[in-house]
Amino acid sequence: MPRYALKIEYNGAPYAGWQRQADLPSVQGAIEAALAKLEPGPHTIAAAGRTDTGVHGLGQVAHCDMTKDWDAFRLSEALNFHLKPEPVAVVGCAVVDDAWHARFSAQARHYLFRLVVRRAPLTHDAGLAWRVMQPLSLEAMQIAANHLLGQHDFTTFRASECQAKSPVKTLDRLDIEELEYPGGREFRFHLSARSFLHNQVRSFVGTLERVGAGAWAPDDVKLALEARDRAKCGPVCPPYGLYLRAVDYPADPFS
């Protein structure tokens, strides 16, 4: 059976996350339903990351197995036709080896979190960024973020229901940039690692926001990390500012 890699973009607002669920809409379910319109029978796709309820995808990657040989471009076009009007789009499609796996072949995952500081509610970016009203210090947040880089036991920043075998992960990047935004400022958090714990990114950003607002000192993040205690984590920020931006593989199947 030929295998295809799919690069997928989606607005996570209408979905109870990536993973298929019996009674709730999911991104996986929407794509599998579109596949079933192309070839009969149940379809099961695997993804690089199982994003949570409300989290968006800019470069999610999944793979599917088909019974017949499809031209990759025609497959993506057919899927996009049958995905309408769902806010899901296949933006890349490529034939891959049978041993290639969207999750297990991945070498790194890159996330983006958008935080907007302004008094007025968001209109065009409603549901696409987290709005806070108090000014934030970029310098303080970046100093605090640097404490999280490298290999650590991230128990403090791990959801209680996380199913990962170990809380030890290596964070390769946590950079924050500040941009102009109409009526305010936007902070973009860029995070990279081979893999992440459940709610790890949102726990980081929620905690760093407290640092930026002056409620925490930068070194408080180091103390929280070393405590290895979930109760020491700052507030977990909402999901709608979070995006799975890209996934790296030994060879880019979409190049």
List residues with catalytic annotation: 52
Query: Phi, psi at residue 39, to the nearest 5°?
Result: -140, 130
Q: What separation in angstroms does the CA of 95 have from each of 1, 7, 168, 187? A: 11, 12, 34, 37
Residue identified by tokens 């199947």 is 253
In the numeric block, which tokens belong to residue 121?
């509610």
> Of 103, 115, 114, 86, nearest to 50 (Cα)?
103
Which amino acid makes up residue 51?
Answer: T
Mark out the alpha helices in the chain (DSSP H runs): 27-38, 72-83, 138-146, 200-212, 218-227
